[in-house]
């Protein structure tokens, strides 16, 4: 009997590896968010038997915002399977469009975004989406205890070495007096530092009478990272 020759579909190793890497990033981010939620759950378990409704509502809103950002990140990575660069302004716009679509902040967050034209790698984009979502969530909750709208600004510039400097400002009350990060930082701030450090970047906070600033400095993006 004459054997049949089966033609294999040509493989695309780079596209395959990029898809694997995208899934790896999403899995890592899901694990980080899962760990954050578990820490919050343990804090609730250690507290009183009756949990205020407002606290549970805030927790669900936080989860919604973070998962929404992750879902939009997954959409961006799926639309860019080769793992190429993305425009930072478009990436961050996805975060804020997600907030608007869920209505989680109502009219409490006025966003001013100036980051278009700056290209970032897929790894940097995934990290920055989650970091900005986390900072915006905290600003909406804590920047103005009286509940007035927060002016939230995000701007990007290039450093002399070709890296990226991202400035994230709000016009709120800033950090509590005497705040010490090692002693007082919550799980959200620890998550921020871990995400930025994992991308080879540096995170700094500056609190003053006009609000709170996060400065994120990233090295030049490596292609196909």
Average pLDDT (188-213) is 89
Residue 208 belongs to what domain range?
14-218
- CATH code for the domain of 81: 3.30.565.10
Residue 164 predicted with pLDDT over 60: yes
Q: What DSSP line would sit under 72-115, residue for residue?
A: HHHHHHHH-TT---EEHHHHHHHHHHHHHHHTSSTTSEEEEEE-
Please tell me the predicted confidence (pLDDT) of residue 30.
66
What is the C-alpha separation between 211 and 38, in angstroms, rounded?
30
At 176 the pLDDT is 83
Overall average pLDDT of the 186-199 stretch:
84
Average confidence (pLDDT) over 104-121: 90
The tally of domains found in the chain comes to 1
Under the banding of pLDDT at 50, 70 and 90, the label for residue 167 is very high
Classify residue 7: in a domain, yes or no: no
Q: Indicate whether 9 belongs to any domain.
A: no
- pLDDT tens readout for residues 129-145: 889 988 998 898 889 98
Residue 214 lies in a domain: yes
- Give the pLDDT of residue 45: 76
Q: Is residue 224 part of a domain?
A: no
Does 2 reside within a domain?
no
Residue 3 counted as domain residue: no
């Amino acid at each position: 009997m004459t054997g049949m020759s089966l033609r294999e579909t040509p493989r695309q190793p780079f596209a395959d590896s990029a898809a694997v890497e995208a899934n790896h990033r999403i899995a890592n981010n899901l694990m980080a968010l899962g760990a954050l939620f578990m820490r919050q759950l343990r804090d609730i378990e250690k507290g009183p038997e009756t949990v205020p409704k407002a606290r549970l509502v805030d927790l669900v809103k936080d989860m919604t915002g973070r998962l929404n950002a992750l879902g939009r990140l997954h959409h961006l990575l799926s639309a860019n399977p080769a793992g190429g660069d993305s425009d930072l302004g478009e990436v961050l716009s996805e975060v804020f469009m997600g907030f608007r679509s869920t209505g989680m902040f109502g009219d409490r967050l006025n966003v001013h975004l100036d980051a278009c034209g700056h290209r970032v790698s897929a790894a940097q984009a995934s990290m920055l989406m989650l970091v900005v979502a986390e900072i915006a969530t905290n600003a909406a909750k804590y920047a103005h205890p009286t509940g007035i709208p927060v002016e939230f600004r995000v701007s990007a510039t290039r450093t002399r070495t070709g890296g990226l400097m991202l400035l994230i400002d709000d016009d709120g009350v800033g950090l509590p007096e005497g705040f010490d990060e090692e002693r007082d930082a919550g799980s959200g701030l620890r998550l921020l530092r871990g995400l930025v450090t994992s991308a080879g970047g540096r995170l700094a906070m500056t609190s003053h009478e006009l609000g709170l600033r996060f400065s994120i400095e990233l090295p030049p993006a490596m292609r196909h990272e």
